[in-house]
Amino acid sequence: MTDNPWWRGAVIYQIYPLSFQDSNGDGIGDLPGIIERLDYLAELGVDGIWVSPIFKSPMADFGYDVSDFQAIDPLFGQVGDFDRLVTETHRRGLKLVIDQLLSHSSAQHPWFRESRESRDNPKADWYVWADPRPDGSPPNNWQSLFGGSAWRWEPRRRQYYLHNFLESQPDLNFHNPQVPAAMLENLKFWLDRGIDGVRLDAINFCYHDRLLRDNPAKPEAERTGRGFSPENPYAYQYHWYNNTQPENLVFLERLRRLFDAYPGVVALGEISSEDSLATMTEYVSDTRLHMAYSFELLTEEYHAAHIRDTVDTLERKMRDGWPCWTVSNHDVTRVITRWGGAKASPRMATMLHAMVCSLRGSVCIYQGEELGLPEAGVPFEALRDPYGIAFWPNFKGRDGCRTPMPWQDAPNGGFSTGTPWLPIPPEHLPLAVSRQEADPNSPLHHLRRFLRWRHDQPTLRWGEIRFIALPEPLLAFTRSLNGDTALAVFNLGSDAVQAEVPLDGRLRALDGHGLPAGRIAGRAMHLPGHGVLFATLE
């Protein structure tokens, strides 16, 4: 299976650069800090790193509002630091994936500054502008993901502009052919610098409905999922017209032709639509994205049936594509808290790593998850996330999963010699890397051992998957490749469980993965709380 591209079956570690490692004492993580920690990442056993946005930005949405797509923000360093990151990452045998957002820019981008001045300047049609209704109200009922109307009045033009996210993130008009051409040039700038992939933020938001039709109302019972809390009016609509338009498929094919000119480079899309699994099946193909992930495993739902149904549904629809899975990122409550509650066992984190890394697909692991970090409690006066500030106290925003990495059980966690931009919670310090390095039974060591073992298990990296129905809280499936079949069983609960072996034939338990393991006795499987069982069918 050596012909597989590097990203198939890869484990990619997501770095939130503001919070990873500060090298100059200003309390903000930076590129030299990432370089300083590359040996840690190589030893962890991941295949590559994904670095969240590092481009020039006023930081209204912490890098997801770009004012220059071809410049590094001074907070993080310079282009020379980025080039050194590419070199040093590759020197350790790792791959480098960067984050790019194509659908919008910062309101401080020169394109938008020009576009808003008049209706007849060279950039006048580079953003989504629309006249008001006769009564002066916005042109339609579209809502921003951050709450309230997705339209903002601009007095210079006497028009509204569209912002699917913050008001300071105006949407680019991809119906103007100059815009996709310009965004592809921005991508090319970084591809030419030797990166190995691009994670494409909100990639289904590039195009909007030309007719600006109203989104239909959504029944209360269906107002669920990421960003769909009852407090947020975004939940009240089916978002059929402000994203996921058919024109986007043509653009993705054009984007793929660009990527194909750089062998080995992967396009990973983030999908958030009304039916994200269906959108993934459309977007991932030999002529569009290489792989994609959505938010189905980033919600509050935690039971074996949900995980099984989510993955199985995608498997049935995406026969030829390749998924990417994640259970945590910079936008959601950390998984150990979201799924395990305030008193979750560290063994749960170990089991969840093994589970997601055993699904068919690639995997993204968010920084700090290898330590089993719980969600941080950030007081209102320390919040930085505009989403959390707007919806406090019903929704506390995303700062709780973005606090700095605790490298040492010491003041500021070894993250910075200055005051961190977000406070490091005291409960994170006993889970610091320095403490876990000294404990061979820590989540950190468990994940290291597991990833080393997984690297030599081709069935887990590339095999086909078939789910087996077992009673809750057991999740079970087989992975098969070239005539070899492995059984994987995960106890999602905290109590020990016994179940009958679900396959005919003789099973031999696999060891060497370094996890709290179950055992097979005759036709019975015994799994400890949050235990795992790997076996081969002989």
What average pLDDT does range 193-215 have in this prediction? 98
Instruction: Please state, in angstroms and rounded to a whole number, the distance separating the CA atoms of residues 319 and 251.
Output: 22
Q: Among residues 422, 452, 482, which one ends one of the domains?
A: 452
Instruction: Report the CATH number that the domain containing residue 217 is assigned in CATH.
Output: 3.20.20.80
Q: Into how many domains does the chain fold?
A: 2
The pLDDT of residue 225 is: 59
Q: Is 362 part of any domain?
A: yes
Rg, the chain, Cα only: 23
pLDDT range class, residue 228, cuts 50, 70, 90: low
Say yes or no to pLDDT of 248 above 50.
yes
What average pLDDT does range 17-41 have in this prediction? 98
The pTM assigned to this predicted structure is 0.96
Known catalytic residue at 26: no
Domain around 497: 463-537
Q: Is 125 part of any domain?
A: no
Say yes or no to pLDDT of 406 above 80.
yes
User: Considering only 67-76, 421-430, 473-482, 517-526, which range has the smallest mean pLDDT?
Assistant: 517-526
Say yes or no to pLDDT of 497 above 90.
yes
Q: Is 158 part of any domain?
A: no
Q: Is 485 part of any domain?
A: yes
Q: Are residues 472 and 327 in the same domain?
A: no
Known catalytic residue at 270: yes
Q: Are residues 447 and 317 in the same domain?
A: yes
pLDDT range class, residue 237, cuts 50, 70, 90: very high
Highest mean pLDDT among 240-254, 338-352, 507-521: 240-254
Q: Is 348 part of any domain?
A: yes
Q: Do residues 335 and 328 make contact, with C-beta atoms less than 8 angstroms apart?
A: yes
Say yes or no to pLDDT of 2 above 80.
no
Q: Is 235 part of any domain?
A: yes
pLDDT range class, residue 229, cuts 50, 70, 90: low
Given the residues 30, 99, 154, 270, the one annotated as active site: 270
Q: Are residues 487 and 447 in the same domain?
A: no
Q: Are residues 369 and 494 in the same domain?
A: no
Q: Is 330 part of any domain?
A: yes
What average pLDDT does range 330-336 have in this prediction? 95
pLDDT range class, residue 326, cuts 50, 70, 90: very high
Which strands make up the sheet holding 48-51, listed edge to edge? 291-293, 266-270, 197-201, 95-101, 48-51, 11-15, 362-366, 324-325
Instruction: Report the CATH number that the domain containing residue 516 is assigned in CATH.
Output: 2.60.40.1180
Instruction: Please state, in angstroms and rounded to a whole number, the distance separating the CA atoms of residues 106 and 170.
Output: 7
Task: Provide CB contacts within 8 A for 289, sequence distance 6+.
Answer: 200, 203, 252, 256, 267, 268, 269, 283
pLDDT range class, residue 1, cuts 50, 70, 90: very low
pLDDT range class, residue 226, cuts 50, 70, 90: low
Count the alpha carbons within 13 Å of 223 in the hemisphere toward its beta carbon.
16
Q: Are residues 384 and 442 in the same domain?
A: yes
Instruction: Please state, in angstroms and rounded to a whole number, the distance separating the CA atoms of residues 361 and 348.
Output: 21
Average model confidence (pLDDT) across the chain:
95
What average pLDDT does range 492-503 have in this prediction? 94
Say yes or no to pLDDT of 444 above 80.
yes
Given the residues 47, 81, 171, 201, the one annotated as active site: 201
Count the alpha carbons within 13 Å of 181 in the hemisphere toward its beta carbon.
5
Q: Are residues 279 and 383 in the same domain?
A: yes
Q: Among residues 428, 452, 476, which one ends one of the domains?
A: 452
